Structure 1
Amino acid sequence: MGSNFKNLSKDNLIQKFKNLHKLKVQIDECNFNAKLNPVNNAKIFTIYHTIENTNMNAADMYNMMKALQHQLKEQENETIQRKKENAQRHFDNSGGIKKYLAMKNYLTDIGVNVHEIN
């Protein structure tokens, strides 16, 4: 695997390693956030519509707000899971952990401190 790296310039190899490292850290730390658009979710839109257009007592309003919170949390979790799966798929398609470790070893062998370039 090291012979494949000899064809690349040092700067190009460092950039590729940075990209792989960024993906690896993001996956390892579950560093994903979800930017929600509630209008696109039919369940959430229905709850909004019900809250806006229905005369409710306090208990019903409380239950509707809890339902809304639940749906928003569920949508956030689904979005984060989808982003994590996409990042993992991209990392795997880029060579995965084997390529990451091989690049790290090769860079270390040619005298690059991989801990400073991250």
Structure 2
Amino acid sequence: MIKREKDLQVIGSSKVKLLKENVYIHTWLETECHKGSNEIASAVYDTLNKIKIPENVKEIRLVSDGCTGQNKNSIVLSMCAKWMLEAPSHIEKLQLIFPATGHSFLPPDRVFALIEKKIKT
């Protein structure tokens, strides 16, 4: 997801456990790093490795926008396959979901909207 502010792009990915109080986010400036599929895959991989997944969780669902250059490609899919090889033994399935194009109004969308609002004020 990209938010513009005064010709400066802040690129990020977030993980939300359906609560606004429980958000993990990676951000970087366009001047620091690109916004391609390698960077997005690295951010998601890092988050998957850092979060504590309870033993009763058997399935992970990743919801991603359909941006071909960042998310909908073989690099992100390959990262998911690699993570599944290393995942905790209780994880049986990782599902990669691409909702219909447009605003999905998922919790991460609200998180980025709040960040954008704070930047503008």
What band does the TM-score fall into relative to the shorter chain? under 0.3
Structure number having the greater helix percentage: 1
- Return the structure number with greater relative CO, CA threshold 8 A, min gap 6: 1
TM-score normalised by length of structure 2 = 0.24
Structure number having the greater strand percentage: 2
